[in-house]
Amino acid sequence: MAHLAKADVREQQLVLADKLANMRAIARDDAKYGEDLWQRFKRSKDIQSWYYHAAVQAMSDLEFDAEAGDYYKRFLKLVSYVFAGCKIVLTHKI
């Protein structure tokens, strides 16, 4: 995440597109399978939550980007929705 926070706008936009697609799929599967969804992942829901919240933080400058701002806000909303109630501890600098 440290690299992502320092990456140029184009690289962050590319990562955002990938992470947004992932979160859309996770949100769909979460609605369908509920908590059973998280058994498909190698890492727990809390670790996934940390990862996606760290990505939100690392790309926060995109919120004000003319091309990516709306996509960033959608990503933020999906992360907040899917991981509501998770323990989020950003103990690592990003």
Say whether pLDDT at 18 is over 80. Answer: yes
Closest CA relative to residue 74, chosen from 13, 23, 8, 10: 23
Number of residues in the chain: 94
Answer yes or no: are the C-beta atoms of 18 and 73 closer than 8 Å.
no
pTM of the model: 0.87
More confident residue, 89 or 31: 31
What is the mean pLDDT of the segment spanning 37-65?
Answer: 95
Domain ranges of the chain: 2-82
Q: What are phi and psi of 90, to 5 degrees?
A: -90, 85
Residues 6+ apart with CB under 8 A from 86: 45, 46, 49
pLDDT of 89 above 70: no
Mean pLDDT over 25-53 rounds to 94
What is the structure's pLDDT at 94? 39
